[in-house]
Amino acid sequence: MTRVAFIGAGSVVFTRQLLADLLGFEDLPQLDLRLHDVDERRLAVAEGTAHQVSERLGRPLQVTATTDRRRALADVDFVVNMVQIGGVDATRLDLEIPARHGLQQTIGDTTGVGGVFRALRTFPFLTGLLEDMRAVAPGAVLLNYTNPMAMNVWWANVVAPDITTMGLCHSVYWTANDLAELVGLHVDDTRFRAAGVNHQAWLLDWTHDGQDLYPRLRERIRQDPELERRVRVEVFRRIGFYPTETSEHSSEYLPWFLRSAEQIERFRLQPLEYVGISEENLAEFAAAERALANGEPLELEQGAAEYAPQVIHSLVTGTEREIHANVVNDGLIDNLPAGCVVEVPTSVGAGGVVPQPMGSLPTAAAALNRSYVSVNELTIRAARDGDPLAVRQAVLVDPNASSTLTPAQIWDLCNELVAAHGDLLPEPLRVQLDPAAI
């Protein structure tokens, strides 16, 4: 029996999708599924979802739903983390407070000011989770979906280097899928490999029958002027390689797009977009709760290409796969700092988890990645050392923030966010800093 714990299982749509993909592997042994959430209402919906998916797919499933984290983790083989510390309310603060200061974000969960404060809320949770894993499931593999991906995996390696942690994100796959469709191909007929940092990796190898597909993409862009109004197309034009995250996300990792109303209009961006997405997620939860209460079938989609089910299947059965994973840079990308977290092709199967060295990135691509990595590094330092100055410095070196706000304005913004998030932050980081102090 394969034992899997879903932590933050109240993310019911995600729980439903991951479970459907897991149960789709007919050669995977029966699952002992542990569902954990601190919200009992959400946990009940997750449990009902698990039973319905099991029944509809005709696959027996042992389910335990509990608010006791150690009980959920006891002797498991895999831990899938998908928590959102502070929930929608904290996310709204991460977006709306900076906007009042004149700093625009679209999603605000990966880097920049939103990513920094989401990381600082999440690190204490991760420390506790890893301590519990070490106590009751020391051999388990942690599969992290929670953003900010790179910072969370980096923090896990700081506090628990003895536990195998992989960060999983679907951005590389869906980029390859969408681009293949754009040039008239199916993704399964293409080869793609990317490397960089999460949400800002670069499609370095993209071919069909051994032929480079970038010339076909350039021709397709020339045929449709509207494509030139996408952030990723602009980045591709300037850097020469396509970035692996949506234009909405990509816009907030760089200083070029959200700094003015003209750029926002030109590239068809929607500041604070994630506030609306969060509200939609709440509506999806309510719909799932109603459907279960009424005995109605939930919407079910299999084969969504999520990586966690593939990793679990490969490590249990020995089936060899290559995915893209977020792991510590231990000789994987030569021109990014050692010890940071990078996204690279990774083999999983009988040999375990084996990230693939990718050499050096194109110089301009690595230069953009280093700004992102610097935000991560300062955030890690702030949490590790309890240093409130490093929090401000992390936001100060963020390209989007520094393109819009002065240093003093960044200090004022961070002071307001610190006060707003309160005890969700580690206590040493809750202090206010005078923007004029020396």
**What is the distance between the alpha carbons of residues 387 and 95, in angstroms, rounded to a whole number?**
23
Q: Which of 170, 186, 249, 313 is catalytic?
A: 170
- CA torsion sign for 206, 209, 212, 216 is negative
Angle in degrees, 0-180, between the axes of helices 407-421 and 112-136, rounded to the nearest 10? 40
Q: Are 207 and 191 in contact (CB under 8 A)?
A: yes
Respond yes or no on whether the N-terminal peptide bond of residue 435 is cis (omega within 30° of 0): no
313 among known catalytic residues: no
Is 1 buried (19+), middle (13-18) or exposed (0-12) by CB count in 10 A?
exposed
Pairing type for strands 2-7 and 31-36 reads parallel
Residue whose C-alpha is closest to residue 243's, from 375, 366, 337: 366
Helix residue spans in 34-86 (DSSP H) = 40-57, 69-73
Q: Are 411 and 430 in contact (CB under 8 A)?
A: no
Catalytic positions: 170
